[in-house]
Chain A
Amino acid sequence: KQEVTQIPAALSVPEGENLVLNCSFTDSAIYNLQWFRQDPGKGLTSLLLIQSSQREQTSGRLNASLDKSSGRSTLYIAASQPGDSATYLCAVCVTSYDKVIFGPGTSLSVIP
């Protein structure tokens, strides 16, 4: 059974710091992995999607890596800003039919 965990559960950093969020999954047979952002009480915004054949994806200040063999993904945020404050969710897609398993999320607070 696929399980997804995220560490840390919460993180507070001063503005301008670079930071890394971690995601682990138990079964390496994945279709793809996505990182999402969720603002309080809102829906999810897709940040990056990494196909199972890829190692990393980049978008602006965000970089996500994937190591299927070790069951790990990291989301790197460069030069953090207060507007980055949100919950970041890692999600593993186990089939091409979107059966997605989410982690519990990391709550990020960037202090001005």
Chain B
Amino acid sequence: DAGVTQSPTHLIKTRGQQVTLRCSPKSGHDTVSWYQQALGQGPQFIFQYYEEEERQRGNFPDRFSGHQFPNYSSELNVNALLLGDSALYLCASRGHTDTQYFGPGTRLTVL
């Protein structure tokens, strides 16, 4: 079992650009959540996808959008990047239990 995988591992972008991050959930999991973790802080909930629909959303602007595919994998898109978007982006998946399993994250640097 590969667990939750994320790509890419690291990414460098400039202000104003757009970025797409990808997540493959753990085998058998159908729910994917995305988090943003700034340096030295706890992760902040961005949104959750279930059955290809956004089910919950945290306090993030519309520049942050996502998608879930029929195979339960997910993408996080961020438009018009700001310096403050530099962070570790974490994906978590779960199945029919409440335990979330996290991926290793994508480190995004915005210059």
Contacts and interface: CB of A to CB of B under 8 A. Distances in A.
Interface of A: 4, 31-32, 34, 36, 41-46, 49, 51, 89, 91, 93, 95-105
A4 B101 contact: no
Contact of A99 (B45, B92, B101): B45
Dominant SS among interface residues on chain A: strand
Most buried by B among A51, A97, A98, A101: A98
Q: How large is the interface on B (under 10, 10 to 19, 20 to 34, 35 or more residues)?
A: 20 to 34
Contact of A44 (B31, B50, B58, B102): B102
Contacts of B103: 43
Interface of B: 4, 31, 33, 35, 40-45, 48, 50, 55-56, 58, 88, 90, 92, 94, 98-105, 107
10 closest A-B pairs by CB: A102-B42, A44-B102, A43-B102, A43-B104, A97-B56, A99-B56, A104-B42, A102-B43, A43-B105, A98-B33
